[in-house]
């Protein structure tokens, strides 16, 4: 079952990179007591994700945070080392938290996984965005296959 507006973010964990190496963070660490704009990409370094999706959130980070968002987070079913390298390559700095859902457990818990085996990618997360307040989804935007519209930074800005 796919998560819906009004649902609580399920318990899961991600990996993030710190100065001392990989670190596990829980969904409560990310979403608890905060307003979070989370967006998910099918893969780091993939064309739309690298050319439009992540750069849009980096470009509009100050505007998004200025509308009451505490954390902007990018999630993908990639390992923490890939997410860290991609974040550095994209110049995210402190603007966007890079969350590695390495095994796709969070994507599955949301009901937003996709089968990318036809592209040699295995199970991945769909392209989507959401806004959550204290762990409760207030906006959910799931892209149709091959689309990039409703999960963009511009669309999120319009929802805030």
List, for residues 19-66, the tens digit of each pLDDT value. Answer: 999 999 999 999 999 999 999 999 888 877 777 899 999 999 999 999
Per-residue buried b or exposed e for 67-99, using 16+ beta carbons within 10 Å of the residue's own CB: eebebbbbbbbbbbebbbbbbeebebeebbbbb
- Cα of first residue to Cα of last residue in the chain, in angstroms, is 26
Per residue in 72-116, pLDDT (tens digit) is 999 999 999 999 999 999 999 999 999 999 999 999 999 999 788
Domain assignment present for 36: yes
Q: What is the pTM of this model?
A: 0.94
Comparing CA positions, the residue from 62, 27, 54, 13 lying closest to residue 137 is 27
Domain of 22? 13-159
User: Which of 46-50, 113-117, 139-143, 145-149 has the highest mean predicted lDDT (pLDDT)?
Assistant: 139-143
What is the domain count for the chain? 1
| CATH code, domain carrying 62 | 3.40.30.10
- What 3-state class would DSSP assign to 9? coil
What pLDDT band is residue 132 in, cutting at 50, 70 and 90?
A: very high
Domain assignment present for 4: no
pLDDT at 1 over 90: no
Domain assignment present for 81: yes
Domain assignment present for 6: no
Domain assignment present for 66: yes
Q: What is the DSSP string of 89-141?
A: HHT-TTTSEEEE-TTSHHHHHHT-EEE-GGGT--EEEPSEEEEEETTEEEEEE
Domain assignment present for 7: no
DSSP conformational letter for 42? S
Domain assignment present for 1: no
Residue 120's contacts (CB-CB under 8 Å, 6 or more residues apart) are: none
Active site members: 49
């Amino acid at each position: 079952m796919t998560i819906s507006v009004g649902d609580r973010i399920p318990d899961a964990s991600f990996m993030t990179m710190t100065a001392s190496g990989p670190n596990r963070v829980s969904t409560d660490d990310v979403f608890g007591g905060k307003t979070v704009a989370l967006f998910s990409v099918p893969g780091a370094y993939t064309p739309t994700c690298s050319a439009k999706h992540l750069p849009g959130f980096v470009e509009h980070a100050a505007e998004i945070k200025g509308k009451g968002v505490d954390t902007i987070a990018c999630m993908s079913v990639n390992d923490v080392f890939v997410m860290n390298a991609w974040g550095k390559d994209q110049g995210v700095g402190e603007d966007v938290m890079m969350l590695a859902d390495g095994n796709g457990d969070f994507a599955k818990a949301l009901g937003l996984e996709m089968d990318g085996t036809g592209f040699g990618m295995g199970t991945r997360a769909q392209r989507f965005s959401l806004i959550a307040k204290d762990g409760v989804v207030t906006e959910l935007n799931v892209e149709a296959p091959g689309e990039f519209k409703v999960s963009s930074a511009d669309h999120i800005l319009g929802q805030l």
